[in-house]
Amino acid sequence: SNVAVYYGQGAYQPRLSHFCQETSLDIINIGFINVFPKAVGDWPGSNFGNQCDGNVYEDTELLSGCHQIIDDIPICKELGKTVMLSLGGETAYEDIPNDEVAEWFADFLWYSFGPPGQNDTFPRPFLDNQVDGFDFDIEHNGGNGYATMIKRLRSHYADFPDETFYISGAPQCQLPDLQLSDAIANSDFDFIWVQWYNTGSCSATNFLEGNGDFNFVEWAAKIQASANPDAKLFIGLPASEKAAVDGFYMSPEEVYPLVDFYMNLYPDTFGGIMLWEATASDNNTIDGHNYAQHMKHILRE
């Protein structure tokens, strides 16, 4: 099973290719498209931390100078990584006013970050690089429009039957998730990485305490009753003490029994581990290995 990490918001983060050299990482979610269009014709905006030169397309918040990401995506693909573009994130103001804007937003993302050469009225912030899909890290303002966006993206994916594109989501662990439950029930996801941190009522640390509040079973049931029962469920965890709200970090020794139990209880639904986030993992070295390497080792057990 796989290790997925978020990249783009790490403090003093190294360039993307640094993480693509790491054999423990399988899926890299580049975040974020953090400004959403308010009307058809509006362009979204982006933020990738220290990774772009600060230039934007005129009168937009969409970064146009992400030279290192442009250079590094081919390296990541060469090394077999799945590279996703993530929407939302902690600082985003997410809101999809209606289905027309939802479809516009999906079209914009597809023509701008999907296969090149389809529609040159759209910008190519990563030039001819195409991402492997889109991740929905929607943390505010409710869940209207995401199922419509995902259905639209799926219809674009169908135009490239020889290529594989993915949809993923990062709901918070409380059920129902106000942002993504509707989309999960009504549109096809490939990966669901639940943020089993920052929310005391359902986080993974409850497994340690043995109080039964860690809700992997409920999420597995939700996925098995969703539009795509074959979607893979990942356990999302903070990659270091400071990567999440205090008290939600678990050491590799603490993670092992949790992952071992659910990986074996749900061999088909269990997809792996998601980490927030890549640079925090890199800086969290335990016994000579970084946190993601420890997670990959646990998955291989």
Ligand X SMILES: CNC(=O)NC(=N)Nc1ccccc1
Query: Which residues are designated catalytic?
Result: 139
- Ordered alpha helix ranges (H), 127-215: 146-157, 181-186, 205-209
Select the residue interacting with ligand X from 244, 250, 255, 280 (CB under 6 A): 244
Q: What is the DSSP letter of 54?
A: S
Min dist CB 142 to ligand X, Å, is 17
Structure-token match 């009168």, residue found: 59
Secondary structure tally for the chain: helices H, strands E: 10, 10
Question: Does residue 276 bind ligand X (CB under 6 A)?
Answer: yes
Question: Does residue 245 bind ligand X (CB under 6 A)?
Answer: yes
Distance CA(165)–CA(174), nearest Å, equals 28
Select the residue interacting with ligand X from 25, 52, 131, 170 (CB under 6 A): 170
- E strand or H helix at 220: helix 216-224
Residues with Cβ < 8 Å from 265, sequence gap 6 or more?
Answer: none
Question: Does residue 137 bind ligand X (CB under 6 A)?
Answer: yes
* Interacting residues with ligand X between 175 and 214 (CB under 6 A): 195, 198
Distance CA(270)–CA(42), nearest Å, equals 38
Question: Does residue 241 bind ligand X (CB under 6 A)?
Answer: no
Q: Per-residue x/- marks for ligand X, 30-69, CB under 6 A?
A: ----------------------------------------
Distance CA(42)–CA(39), nearest Å, equals 6
Question: Does residue 90 bind ligand X (CB under 6 A)?
Answer: yes
Min dist CB 260 to ligand X, Å, is 23
Question: Does residue 230 bind ligand X (CB under 6 A)?
Answer: no
Give the residues lining the site for ligand X (CB under 6 A): 6, 90, 137, 170, 195, 198, 244-245, 276
